[in-house]
């Protein structure tokens, strides 16, 4: 290569998603010998662009690229009969709320095999440094054909703090603070977005003791497996245990 010539590195074709990341759909045949270098160069470019996550959709006819993809740090997300989804998360502060000034609840994704009541405690700890204990499920929303055409459950949970000194996670959280529920509810974003408006109203009602959610009750099967039953505990005098004692949670 001459001194005046600049080498052009080919990148994988991608589309931006709604969460600050990119989605790569491998549709044309790719030489598995050159795919690793294409992927590495593309990841480097996406990092420079501040992309939060990279999703690669590999149709079954391109299964020969799975090994190279996994070696670059990707992990299985979900599979369908005709394709496999892999995911890599990069550590950037981004997303649709970046730069908007909107204050939102800590959120996160439940790990495989993890109860969502445990996940809520973990995510709050990771993002804010606050230790909590689970209290109630205030509400939940179910949607279908959302992210990657999958069904999704969003749980709005109430936790009780065990400490109040915030130690935010610098990799994901720009700022964290305690805010009166009235101020949270009054944000223009919450007033304009129907889902967030309902959630804010539920939280306000809970703060005024006019609302009762669903509390978790640990149950054990004959094999010793523990699961949780969530129920309204407002009037537990009508519920009794097997030894005819009032049910408390």
More confident residue, 5 or 58: 58
| pLDDT higher than 50, residue 37 | yes
- pLDDT score of 94: 62
More confident residue, 80 or 159: 159
118: which DSSP letter?
A: H
- pLDDT score of 38: 92
- pLDDT score of 170: 84
Domains in the chain, number: 1
Task: Report how far residue 51's alpha carbon sits from residue 21's, in angstroms, rounded to the nearest whole number.
Answer: 5
More confident residue, 188 or 239: 188
Mean pLDDT in residue range 240-248: 49
Residue 180 domain-assigned (yes or no): no
Residue 52 domain-assigned (yes or no): yes
| pLDDT higher than 70, residue 133 | yes
Residue 134 domain-assigned (yes or no): no
- pLDDT score of 244: 45
Mean pLDDT in residue range 231-243: 59
Q: What is the CATH number of the domain that holds 26?
A: 3.40.630.30
- pLDDT score of 237: 47
Residue 54 domain-assigned (yes or no): yes
More confident residue, 1 or 125: 125
How far CA 67 is from CA of 40, 55, 85, 146, 228, in Å, comes to 14, 15, 13, 28, 38
Least confident of 35-44, 103-112, 175-184: 175-184
> Residue 143 phi/psi, 5° resolution?
-135, 155
Residue 7 pLDDT level (bands cut at 50, 70, 90): very low
- pLDDT score of 3: 41
Least confident of 46-50, 89-93, 136-140, 199-203: 89-93
H or E element, residue 191: helix 188-192
| pLDDT higher than 90, residue 221 | no
H or E element, residue 232: strand 226-232
Residue 9 pLDDT level (bands cut at 50, 70, 90): low
Residue 59 domain-assigned (yes or no): yes
Residue 144 domain-assigned (yes or no): no
Task: Report how far residue 61's alpha carbon sits from residue 78's, in angstroms, rounded to the nearest whole number.
Answer: 16
| pLDDT higher than 90, residue 155 | yes
pTM greater than 0.75 (yes/no): no
Own/partner contacts of 74-80, CB < 8 Å, gap of 24 or more, are: 78/148, 78/150
More confident residue, 6 or 166: 166
Mean pLDDT in residue range 28-40: 90
Q: Is the dihedral of CA 228, 233, 235, 236 positive or negative?
A: positive
Mean pLDDT in residue range 88-115: 74
- pLDDT score of 77: 72
Domain that holds residue 33: 15-89
How far CA 159 is from CA of 107, 119, 207, 230, 245, in Å, comes to 13, 12, 13, 15, 27
Which residue's entry shows tokens 């996994």? 70
Residue 166 domain-assigned (yes or no): no
Residue 47 domain-assigned (yes or no): yes
């Amino acid at each position: 290569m001459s001194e005046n010539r600049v080498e052009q590195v080919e990148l994988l074709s991608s589309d931006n998603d709604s969460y600050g990341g990119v989605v790569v759909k491998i549709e044309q045949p790719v030489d598995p010998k050159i795919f690793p270098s294409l992927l590495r160069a593309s990841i480097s470019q996406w990092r420079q662009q501040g992309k939060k996550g990279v999703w690669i959709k590999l149709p079954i006819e391109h299964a020969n690229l799975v090994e190279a993809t996994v070696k670059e740090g990707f992990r299985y997300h979900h599979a369908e009969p005709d394709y496999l989804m892999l995911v890599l998360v990069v550590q950037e502060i981004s997303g649709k709320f970046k730069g908007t000034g909107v204050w939102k609840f800590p959120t996160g994704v439940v790990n495989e095999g993890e109860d969502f009541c445990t996940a809520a405690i973990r995510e709050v700890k990771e993002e804010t440094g606050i230790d909590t204990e689970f209290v109630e499920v205030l509400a939940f929303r179910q949607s279908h054909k959302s992210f990657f055409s999958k069904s999704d459950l969003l749980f709005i949970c109430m936790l009780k703090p065990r400490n109040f000194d915030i130690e935010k996670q610098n990799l994901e959280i720009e700022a964290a603070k305690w805010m009166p529920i009235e101020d949270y509810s009054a944000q223009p974003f919450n007033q304009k977005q129907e889902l967030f408006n309902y959630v804010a109203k539920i939280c306000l009602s809970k703060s005024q003791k006019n609302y009762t959610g669903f509390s978790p009750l640990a149950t054990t099967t004959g094999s010793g497996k523990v699961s949780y039953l969530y129920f309204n505990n407002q009037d537990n005098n009508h519920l009794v245990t097997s030894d005819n004692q009032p049910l408390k949670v």
